[in-house]
Structure formats: structure tokens, C-alpha cells
Amino acid sequence: MRFLQRIFIFLCLSLSVEAEMVSLSKMAQSIDQIISKKVSEIRQAPRKGIDDYTFARRIYLNAIGRIPTLNELEAFIKDRSPNKRAKLIEKLLGSKGHHSHMYTYWADLLRVKHIGDKLHFTGNLSEAIKSSIRENKPYDQFVKDIVAAKGDLYKPGNGFAGYKAREPMQLDRLANTIKTFTGIAVECAQCHDHPFDDWTQKQFYEMAAFTSEIKLRVDPPPALEKANYAQIRKKLKGESFDKWIVYRESLRMKYATIQGSGTGYMKLPHDYQYDDGKPHDLIQAKTIFGATPTMNLKNSPQQGQNQKKSKKKKKSSKKSLGASINAQEKLAEWMTSRQNSMFTKTTVKRLWIWVMGTEVIGPVANLELGDEGGHPELTNKLTEIMKAVNYDTRKFFTVLFNTKAYQSKALPLQEKKPEYLLDGPVVQRMSAQQVWDSMLTIRTGKPEQWVPTKFMYDAATHFYEKSQKWTAKDFEKYSRKCGHTRAKFTKAMHQEAQDINGKMGPRAEMRASEATDEVWGHNYGYLEVAGLYGASTRELIDGANTEPNIPQILYMMNGKPEDALIRAKTYLNKVLAKVKGRKKYELLWLATLNRPMNSMESRLTSRNSRDPDTFGNVMWALLNSNEFRFVR
């Protein structure tokens, strides 16, 4: 009986998965129908489809951020099943490679970066993003968790609080959050009415009321500091700078926090100049568009201009804007609501341009209310699909990758463009991460070997847990006896974290997503590629670029790739060493360009095959070709 129950459950699950795939396939067809109708209406020639080799290279680069290995390419080409492309899409989107690729995208967008003493350790924030990707958290919930984050900075599982430490200035953080998740640029309204859009300075401050009194605090709460830690801090500072700094840093690892959750009130700035308010006027939270969520506002704090002008009253007018009521959670609900069309449009716009290379709606971070792009019917269909899959980005990618549009010939953007560009992808240069991860594929044959599948501790998250039951005396005792400087203390905690995490692998064999790990150190080979190939410095939203430059060319022609890929004992060279003659060249083409040689290339290599330097020169030429460095 138990066996039959298991069979029944298995069949039900199988049918459920099959039904879902049919539904996603129909969504892909609906996109193609809309595109086909548009192409027919304007009498533009439809694009041709692509062969399996082109598809394999493209889907690997788009879905997991690297080219396929020889074995992966061979397995796909030999597969004779009619739905093998759909099967490969599903496999890649559920892989560690996709986790790695998506982490790089979101870490760039959220600007995950060390910021002095404000966000001294980014590991917990990174792990929150990676965990969300691994568990395939719906994107709306992902964003909601970020916008509503609060609490201890280095508490494992609370990493999204680090997003607010990354940008501790309230108004700047608000402007960046709105731009990142709704595509609307409102930062100008922070200082004055927007010169081109309808947003006013008052509207900006009404939005800011959702996040008022949310602050980064790095040291223990004042009362606790005074009662438990202040005297010890003073004593240690008089004895030794190193003891004092270790004491300070260890306390910060335990107590750094995002305090407050938004009061729902804000005051207009001191230099406010418009007729709809006066400087220091108290205003309530209100969204810049759409319905404002209902909030349980506390008693309104008294406005400064109505207070008596005694010194005491003047001082009190600068204090709290009221009690926290978790207004930021209401902001998060509004921002990710299905009724907030800008959230869904911005989401599909970002994912479409990342894959296709064209703007389906408008500039990536400068939309206007009501924007629908050059093809509103397609825009509406994409937003409809995103809602239908409940903001599951993997399912959305599944739909997109299964369209005939995606699987059509990529268009090289020349001076004379066709009227309609949304009928398929455009040729794009590889990103810095794709360049590094593709070279890593050639070098190792196992590029995902060291991509983590669990939470990885760093110095801060490890010490946070380690010190939870410590008293002030415990911190003092540790600071006196450890004998560390600030740097050595951090290094020691990183080492302890590494012992907990287990083996991570050689830095030079890590994918770009793991290349700036705080525990194991930086992968300087990747950092060189990142600097040359336009990887985001994570100072600005959407700060990456793929523009060519002379240093890139010099690096590939005369730099380390020649030693690392051509002369070294790489995975590829070991495979090639087992074969001779024409077969060697055939494998080289498959491993680098992911396609067979054409007749001209075959004749060229045959004429020069006896020259001992020819093979290395040919590999050098392929790695420096446009065909290698472009996603086609």
C-alpha cells in the first residue's frame, strides 16, 4: 500500500510539473505571436532561427554566465529529443551556475560594497542575496525583504539590513531604492522640484516620511554603553591603542544595527521655498503615485514652528519625528504591489534588456509614469506574464528563453537599424564576469566546483554568534589577551569562519561571484579583468559597461591569458593532448567558439598543421577574435 501511495504521489507531481511547463510554453508562444504580428504589420522580414551550436553558446552565457565545456556541448548536440532546448533551459536555470550569474547581477544592482566603518563587512548582505537566489525567492518578496529590513547588521539570516548600512544617508537611500525598484529617478526632487518630471520636493519628503528615524548605529545602545562598556573603553584606550581598537571593533560586530522602522512623519527642509509648505513643516507619509497604504500613525509630534522659542523647546523640535510604526513595511508593500505598475514594468524591463540587449520600455533607470515603450502590447504581455508566474524570475526566464524570438539570429547593431528591434536579441559584448568565467571554463573544466551551496560565515557573522553570551568583562578579557591589532583581529576571525565553512578552493579557480570574498581574500586575476572590461565599481546603480578599449586588447594579446590558457596545463590542453591532427583543431573550435570549423578554417589549419607553433597561434587567434568575446 505504501508503495502504491508513493507511485500515486510521484505521478501527481510529474503531471503537475508537466502542466506547468505546458503553461510556460504557451506564455512563450503568446510573446512570439505579438512579435510576429508586429513584424508582419510593418512588413519587416522575420529573423531566421539559429542552430544548436549557436543556441548552446548563447543560453550558457545568458543563463549561467559562461560558455559550455566540451562535455556539456557534446551532450546537448548528441541529444536527439525534440524538446532538448527546453530541457537544457530548465537544467541551467536550476544550476549553481545560474545562482552565481544572478548573484553578480543583483550584487551590482544593490551595490554590495565595503563602506568604511559603516558596512565594514559585506558578507552577511552577500549571503542574504545568495540564499534568496538559491531558494528561488519570488522577486517581489526579495525586494520587500530589502526595503523593510532592520535589526542587527551581522546576525546570520538578517543580511538585508546591510543594504541600509551601504547607504546610511536616509534621503540618498530612498532615492536609490525608488530608482532601483520602480525605475523612476526622483533624486533631483530631494533639493528642488524636478525640472523635467512632475515630482515635487514636497512629494519627495512625503515619501521620506516612510523611512524617517531609520538610522545605522554601530556601537552599543547609549544606555548599555554607559552602564557596561564606557569605563572599560576609556581604560583600554589609556593602556594601548590596539587593545582599545579590538574592543571597539568586537563590540561593533555584536551591536551594529539598523534601528527604527519609520515613523510616518517628516519635516520639510530648512530652506524649503515653495508655496505648498514652509520650512520645518511636519508632513505625513504619502506615496508619489498610487494609493497610499493605511498606517496606524501615532500622535503627531508637535511642529517646531508652533513651539515656544525657549532654548529647551528649540532643542526638542529637532528631536524625534515620533515613534517608529514600521512605516517602511508599508512602503515595501506599496512598492512591490501588483497594483504598482512601475514595479512590474521595471522588473521585466531589467530582465529583458539583460537577455535581449534592447529597451522594451525605456532607459533602464529613468522611466516615467505610463511608459509602455515602443510596443505597448508586448510590454503589457511581459508584465502580465511576470504576475502570472508570481514574480518567479526563473519561470520568467524559462518563458523568455523558450520564445522563437530569443532563439532567432542575433542582430549586429549597425548604423542603419531596422524599424523594429524587439523581435530577437542583439549582438552584445561579454560582460567582465562572462569573460572571466568563460576563461575559467577553458582552464578548469569545472567552473562551478567552488560555488557555495550554503551560508558562509565571515569574521562579523562568526563573531556575532560567538559573542552573544559575552559580558563586558568577556570583551575586555578578549581584547587584553588576544594580542591582535585591528587587522589581525579581523584576520583571526576570518580564519575561524573559514574553519567552520570548510574547504573553499583556490582563489584563482573561483567564479566572478566569489572573487572578492572577505574570508579567503581577493582573486586578483579576476579583479584585473573586472577593471579592464567595465565591471561595476558598485558606486552607481547600473554602473557596469561593456565598451571596448585598448587595454582590453593588449591584455588579451600580450597579457596573462596567453600563459594561463595557451601554455599552462589547463583542462582544455589536457584534453587536446590526447588527440592529434585534425581532431585537435576540431576540439579547439568546439571548446572556444562552441561550433565546428567551417570549410575555410579547416583548409587553413590543414595547410599549417605541421608547424609546431601553429596550434598555439591558432588558439591565440580564436581567443582574440570578435566571435569569442561577443554573445551572438
Most confident residue range from 348-352, 358-362, 581-585: 348-352
Window from 52-56, 70-74, 520-524, 582-586 with minimum mean pLDDT:
520-524
DSSP annotation string for 137-174: --HHHHHHHHHT--EETTSTT-TTHHHHHHS-SHHHHH
| pLDDT at position 241 over 80 | yes
Question: What pLDDT does residue 603 have?
Answer: 87
| 294 burial via Cβ count (<10 Å: 0-12, 13-18, 19+) | exposed
Separate counts of helices (H) and strands (E) for the chain: 30, 9
| 135 burial via Cβ count (<10 Å: 0-12, 13-18, 19+) | exposed
Residue 362: phi and psi, rounded to 5, are: 180, -170
Question: What pLDDT does residue 392 have?
Answer: 98
**Residue given cell 526595503 in the structure block:** 147
> pLDDT tens digits for 560-592?
888 888 888 899 999 998 998 889 999 999 999
The answer to whether the beta carbons of residues 339 and 321 sit under 8 Å apart is no
Which letter does DSSP use for residue 1 in this model? -
User: What would you measure as the largest C-alpha separation in the chain, in angstroms?
Assistant: 96
CA distance 570 to 216: 47
311: confidence class by pLDDT, cuts 50, 70, 90: very low
What percent of the chain is predicted at pLDDT more than 90? 76
312 is written with which cell numbers? 529647551
595 is written with which cell numbers? 561550433
Which letter does DSSP use for residue 408 in this model? B
CA distance 602 to 191: 64
Name the helix (H) or strand (E) containing 216.
Answer: strand 215-217
> pLDDT tens digits for 133-182?
999 999 999 999 999 999 999 999 999 999 999 998 999 999 999 999 99
CA distance 269 to 540: 26
Mean pLDDT of the residues in the chain:
90
The answer to whether the beta carbons of residues 252 and 217 sit under 8 Å apart is no
146 is written with which cell numbers? 530589502
The answer to whether the beta carbons of residues 242 and 482 sit under 8 Å apart is no
CA distance 419 to 30: 22
CA distance 420 to 197: 28
Question: What pLDDT does residue 309 have?
Answer: 46
| pLDDT at position 13 over 60 | no
Window from 66-70, 114-118, 228-232, 439-443 with minimum mean pLDDT:
114-118
Name the β-bridge partners of 377: none
Name the β-bridge partners of 630: 429
